[in-house]
Structure 1
Amino acid sequence: MPRLFTALEIPGELVPKLEMLRGRLAGARWIDPENYHLTLRFIGDVEAPDADDFVEALSEIWVEPFSLKLSGVGSFGGRKPRALWVGVEECEPLMRLQRANERAARQAGLPPETRNFSPHVTLARLRGAEQGAVANYLSAVGAFEAEPFPVDQFVLMSAREGSGGGPYVVEERFPLVSPSARKRA
């Protein structure tokens, strides 16, 4: 039973910039750079027929290519930080793509996502990291910005059960196509 999610891959030229954010922080388990991604829709463990239905629904998504900019560093977990992430500047095309992924999941009969979409690239998982140490780290790197990059596809990825950080495998690629190109197809 595969553990699936849809995502945007991070271009190779941005990976060294993200790697520079790796620092000394007790309790941080840094994500391997080849596993950096921005999750659009986590599906989880699904049976093959449901996965096939999801892939079919994903292939019907028509969203125009767009640009995306990574900006800012933060953490999830409040007083008990559990992850470090790089954020994304507000981007309506990204939100449209995410909503289309949600519709595809529902069309495939999968349960709706109950969490709000918060676009980010996970840098590290935290276990036992002190709130003060995380705050110091964030004050040092929080103003991170990268140049915009083009998004012309999204991917369906799989992960080993319980891996929580990779390795991930790209199972399918879905190109983004403008509505005018769709009419010609």
Structure 2
Amino acid sequence: MQRLFVAVWPSESVVEELIALPRKPRPGIRWVEPQNWHTTLRFLGDADVGEVAAQLDGVNFEPIKVRYGPGVDVLNERVIIVPVHGLDELASTVNRATADLGTDRPRKRFVGHLTLGRLKSRPPVLKAVGMPISAEQRVNAFHLVGSTLRPQGVRYEILESFPATAAHR
């Protein structure tokens, strides 16, 4: 059993756009390192890698055009995000395929986002919030990711990738 989630990683061009946003060190804000930026399709919690991979192997999807933006926002008063549009159907398919797996039940409603940072308390006015961001990418794969919590921060490892159906042709 391992702590797992299913995610899509941003393209290099999207990462470049996001890196340009103001992310100055401030007390009470923990910024996510760019190499850890992703959009979670489904958090599974503790699950068996083999069982999850076997279920995800049956997921078929065409490449998806994904949009980031229109601006930086705050989710649930403590998470600094960039909205991500276009992954709802894939997230729903992944949820159905893995519904009986993991210790965390699938969420009823998918809210596509990429987390830039987390706030320890109610947000102060942040320069980044409201900053416009407009980026697009084509998603050709999603990934099964292992998540290890460490004192120095979380470590993510892509365990297996699942390409779009058209990528097999």
Tell me the TM-score normalized by structure 2: 0.85
Deviations 1:156-180 (A, max 9, x none): 10111467963210000000114xx
Give, as a single letter, the amino acid of the residue that structure 2 aligns with 1:82: R
User: What count of residue pairs does the alignment treat as equivalent?
Assistant: 167
Displacement of 1:16:
2.6
Deviations 1:48-106 (A, max 9, x none): 3xx322111101111110111100211123xxx321010023x2xx2111111101112
Alignment of 1:29 onto 2:30: yes
Match of 2:139 among 127, 137, 151: 151
Match of 1:121 among 105, 114, 126: 114
Give, as a single letter, the amino acid of the residue that structure 1 aligns with 2:16: P
Match of 1:57 among 55, 58, 62: 55
- Counterpart CA distance in 1 for 2:102 and 2:2 is 16
SS of alignment partner, residue 116 of structure 1: coil
Structure 2 unaligned segments of length 5 or more: list them: none
**Contact 1:31–1:165 (CA under 8 A) maintained in structure 2:** no
- Counterpart CA distance in 1 for 2:152 and 2:61 is 29
Give, as a single letter, the amino acid of the residue that structure 1 aligns with 2:39: L
- Counterpart CA distance in 1 for 2:11 and 2:129 is 21
- Per the alignment, do residues 58 and 28 of structure 1 end up closer, same or farther by CA in structure 2, a change over 3 Å counting? same
Structure 1 unaligned segments of length 5 or more: list them: none
1:169 corresponds to: 157
- Per the alignment, do residues 102 and 10 of structure 1 end up closer, same or farther by CA in structure 2, a change over 3 Å counting? same
Which is worse superposed, 19-28 or 161-170?
A: 161-170
Match of 2:92 among 99, 117, 136: 99
Deviations 1:103-150 (A, max 9, x none): 11125476631452110000001113x43x2xx326x54242233111
More strand by share: 2
Give, as a single letter, the amino acid of the residue that structure 2 aligns with 1:151: V
Give, as a single letter, the amino acid of the residue that structure 2 aligns with 1:38: T
- Per the alignment, do residues 83 and 171 of structure 1 end up closer, same or farther by CA in structure 2, a change over 3 Å counting? same
Displacement of 1:34:
0.4
Give, as a single letter, the amino acid of the residue that structure 2 aligns with 1:60: G
Structure 1 stretches of 4+ moved >4 Å: 107-111, 162-165
- Counterpart CA distance in 1 for 2:102 and 2:26 is 41
Displacement of 1:40:
0.3
- Per the alignment, do residues 164 and 118 of structure 1 end up closer, same or farther by CA in structure 2, a change over 3 Å counting? farther
**Contact 2:44–2:101 (CA under 8 A) maintained in structure 1:** no
Give, as a single letter, the amino acid of the residue that structure 1 aligns with 2:73: G
User: Which entry has the higher C-alpha Rg, 1 or 2?
Assistant: 1
Percent identity (aligned): 31
- Counterpart CA distance in 2 for 1:171 and 1:127 is 30
